[in-house]
Amino acid sequence: MASRGNDDLDLDGNWSGGKRRRVAKKRRACDAEQTAEPEQPTPKKRKKGGAVLNAVLSSEQPPKTGATAKVLRRWAQTRLATAWVAEAKAKKLTPIETKEVSPAAAWFVACPPVLPLAQLRNWASKARAFPGSQLLQSLGAGQATPSAPGAAILVLCASTDRLFALKADLDGSWGIKALALAAHGGGRKRDQVLRQAKALAAGATLALATPSRLRRLVEEGHLDLESTSLLIVDLAHDKKLRDVLTLQDTRGDFFALLRTKLAPLLPKKVGDETKKLAFLLCGLETA
């Protein structure tokens, strides 16, 4: 039998207050919500991308004037290592893939971070002997003779414009005809590659190349890097303050070559005579 207020017994034998009971229940729920402490927002995790950028910028700072050979090699090693970390992050490589490149101090010639191109031969004559040092001296003296197929000395440039600026300086002041390995000369790219491959087959003592064209020539079998004794990486900045190791496209092509072709040719210890390839990292100044 129902009582006033539409009360009734529930299944457990307790009195249920109908509409009034439901209203009271809602009021209690509203009071509980008002007294509850507001939830604290979850703090956002800060991205660590800035650490890589700071490391790259820090590595670009040149060592002090008069630095020892050990310090110069360590600077070049750090410069390449931080560029590789940036490349691995950009390509989202796995930790195992990242370990494929581990620059060693023995890879590098102890060279000032900035050197006028006109003084390169004089510097090579005074520096401790390194792969390609005698060839550099003979180039400066105009005594270089055509080498075996390939390129004995390679200069890696960030762009075609930079390549031809260096080539004009070399052709004028050194009296040589450096081989240009880049997209130029008109016609189809395939025809350009074949012309450059023919020149490499005849042998070149000194060649200037962009990373993309060098990579293509190597991957298509037109250039064997075992014929190269010195790879000069030109670190001169362009108008946007970028170089071979900071411009993403050139950096990617360079490290693709390093991982697959160059790394086995480089020494692991300073003074290792079994390896005949060395890196020279330097910003070359033109006249």
pLDDT value at residue 15: 54
The answer to which of 30-34, 81-85, 178-182 has the lowest mean pLDDT is 30-34
In DSSP notation, 179-206 reads EEESS-SSS-HHHHHHHHHHHHHH-EEE
Contact 205, 152 (CB under 8 A): yes
Per-residue pLDDT at 118 exceeds 80: yes
The arrangement of secondary structure in 68-285, i.e. its CATH architecture, is 3-Layer(aba) Sandwich (3.40)
pLDDT-above-90 percentage for the chain: 56
pTM (2 d.p.): 0.79
Cβ atoms within 10 A of the Cβ of 192, count? Answer: 17
pLDDT value at residue 172: 85
pLDDT value at residue 201: 95
Residue 19: pLDDT band (50, 70, 90) is low
Q: pLDDT, tens digit, for every residue of 32-84?
A: 666 555 566 666 655 555 665 566 566 667 788 888 999 999 999 999 999 99
